[in-house]
Amino acid sequence: MKVKVLSRNPDDYVRETKQDLQRVPRNYDPALHPFEVPREYTRALNATKLDRVFAKPFVASLDGHRDGVNCMAKHPNSLSTVLSGACDGEVGDDKTVKHWKMEAPAYGEAEEPLNTILGKTVYTGIDHHWKDPVFATCGHQVDIWDEQRTSPLCSLTWGVDSISSVKFNPIEMYLLGSCASDRNIVLYDMRQSTALKKVILDMRTNTLCWNPMEAFIFTAANEDFNLYTFDMRFLDKPVVVHMDHVSAVLDVDYSPTGKEFVSASFDKSIRIFPVDKGHSREVYHTKRMQHVITVKWTSDNKYILCGSDEMNIRLWKANASEKLGVLLPREKAAMNYNEKLKEKFQHHPQIKRISRHRHLPKMIYSQAREQRIMREARRRKEMNRRKHSKPGSVPLVSEKKKHIVAVVK
């Protein structure tokens, strides 16, 4: 029987004299480099700095309108087609719904609508079903129409105030949501021809947008400078309150991935929010851009379109530092590696400070500081009342529940 005995050569680890340095075994495996963390931290810091250096989000400006751009729509099958409407009188509040062809008219052919429906009241919003030849209009009430009929299939109402916006759910396509001027957000079921439930907020909601990946999640743009992401099953409080705008939020649209959304505000800026975060990751603005009325996120998840009061439609990159054009395999690998490094070291103070820094217009900066002071004052006042009052007499209300007045089913 053979027995193998472990043996070590003393010359490999024993010093000849006391003045010699201790010999340390070295591992040549690059995955076990002794300075791996400092080296990766330096790379993450450099990648974060380069992101800010190459952050050039503005791509192009589309002209042609003679008044402020008020609405936009994406083509469901064409990435290069976007429809826009302005306050120049071409489409007016004349109680009609017109059905048009997408193709340009042939030579000598008059551009006439295919079908015209005359309604009883002024329509303030319209949205088409994602698959069926059905669309919904809103005004005094929500009407469901068939494209081939001149009378609505059904009318949905809950209250008497005017409704400003209506949106179909892209997943559960028989569900609708609407925003009314009496601060209500109402959900409808087209199959039952009835309203399901509504939530009443402190201030008016301008519009809402459904998450394209989660059927029960929607985000509402409110007049109180905030956006509220709700779960339609639990409307007693929002899932997340998104706070960064300093004026009324007028429009919101989700990315195709459902992980982020973009908002347009009266404060002359647009912001990109992660759906699960309370603060924006990006803010876009220019010197000439006025109140932003409408915004859309393109279906390829690369660009953002916004329409504002000064008659322009601006095209932005969804990722400010992204390189346009074809990427080589090595460039893709380097980009993915840098993204993972930034994610790994995102909470380090230096990297966090650089990645969060944004230049803001003086107006937005001063208003944000003023609102922050006001919030702190209200918080101190509430704490003082709770401290000097009988225990339990001043209830502690979370930020999520502060803005909800009631839920009606």
| Secondary structure in 3-state letters for 237-281 | CCCEEEECCCCCEEEEEECCCCCEEEEEECCCCEEEEECCCCCCC
Whether the per-residue pLDDT at 6 is higher than 90: the answer is: no
Position 377 scores a pLDDT of: 95
The answer to whether residues 129 and 154 touch, using CB atoms and an 8 Å cutoff, is no
Alpha helices by DSSP H, 14-133? 36-53
Position 157 scores a pLDDT of: 84
Q: How far apart are CA 292 and CA 248, in angstroms?
A: 10
Residues 6+ apart with CB under 8 A from 123: 93, 95, 97, 137, 138, 139
Model confidence at 341, pLDDT cuts 50, 70, 90, reads very high
Whether the per-residue pLDDT at 1 is higher than 90: the answer is: no
Model confidence at 127, pLDDT cuts 50, 70, 90, reads very high
The answer to whether residues 270 and 264 touch, using CB atoms and an 8 Å cutoff, is yes
The pLDDT of 351-374, averaged and rounded, is 93
The answer to whether residues 72 and 93 touch, using CB atoms and an 8 Å cutoff, is no
Task: Express each pLDDT in 211-254 by its tens digit.
Answer: 999 999 999 999 999 999 999 999 999 999 999 999 999 999 99
Position 231 scores a pLDDT of: 94
Position 269 scores a pLDDT of: 94
Whether the per-residue pLDDT at 27 is higher than 90: the answer is: no
Q: Can you say whether residue 179 is alpha, beta or left, with left for phi > 0 and alpha for psi between -120 and 50 degrees?
A: beta
> CB atoms < 10 A from the CB of 260, how many?
20
Model confidence at 319, pLDDT cuts 50, 70, 90, reads very high
- Specify the pTM: 0.86
Higher pLDDT, residue 76 or 348: 348
Task: Express each pLDDT in 180-217 by its tens digit.
Answer: 988 999 999 988 888 899 999 999 999 999 999 999 99
Q: How far apart are CA 294 and CA 311, in angstroms?
A: 12
Model confidence at 37, pLDDT cuts 50, 70, 90, reads confident
Q: How far apart are CA 253 and CA 260, in angstroms?
A: 9
3-state DSSP call for residue 39? helix
Whether the per-residue pLDDT at 31 is higher than 80: the answer is: no
| Residue-averaged pLDDT of the chain | 89
The pLDDT of 123-152, averaged and rounded, is 90
Position 100 scores a pLDDT of: 84
Model confidence at 256, pLDDT cuts 50, 70, 90, reads very high
The answer to whether residues 55 and 63 touch, using CB atoms and an 8 Å cutoff, is no
Q: Which two tokens stand for residue 81?
A: 């087609």
By the 10 Å C-beta count (0-12 exposed, 13-18 middle, 19+ buried), 1 is classed as exposed
Q: At what angle do helices 349-356 and 36-53 cross, to 10 degrees?
A: 10
Position 12 scores a pLDDT of: 76
By C-alpha distance, which of 355, 330, 359, 353 is closest to 342? 355
Whether the per-residue pLDDT at 57 is higher than 80: the answer is: yes
The pLDDT of 274-285, averaged and rounded, is 94
Whether the per-residue pLDDT at 109 is higher than 80: the answer is: no
Model confidence at 114, pLDDT cuts 50, 70, 90, reads confident
Residue 13 CA: distances (Å) to CA of 10, 19, 95: 6, 14, 92
Q: Which two tokens stand for residue 167?
A: 């949106």
The answer to whether residues 210 and 177 touch, using CB atoms and an 8 Å cutoff, is yes
Position 150 scores a pLDDT of: 85
